[in-house]
Amino acid sequence: METVYVISVVIIVLGMLAVLKRVIVGPTLLDRLLAVNVIGTKTIVLLALVGFLAQRPGFYLDIALTYALINFIGTIAVLRYFEARVSGRATQAAEEEAS
């Protein structure tokens, strides 16, 4: 049964590496943010699998849930920051156009 977990871990890590390209190259900021969020989600699954491998799933699932909450809050915070930044630029452009 451990073999299944190890194979799953390897597949998830390969998936994370594939998404890493989008983080680096991503044509837009939202593509990069989505890719970082996907890596965070895969990390949560990876933590759960490591917990089962270490035969301490409860401990690792607590860490995974905490990480999921931090990942979610971080994503929302970054989106709000860039939303405010973009709306600030729009407001500034409208003021310059009006004057």
Mean of pLDDT values over 35-62 = 93
> With bands split at pLDDT 50, 70 and 90, how would you rate the model's confidence at 39?
very high
Mean of pLDDT values over 9-17 = 94
Residue 24 has pLDDT above 90, yes or no: yes
Number of structural domains found in the chain: 1
pLDDT of res. 23 = 92
Per-residue buried b or exposed e for 44-60, using 16+ beta carbons within 10 Å of the residue's own CB: bebbbbbbbbeeebeeb
Predicted TM-score of the model (pTM): 0.80
Structural domain of 60: 2-98
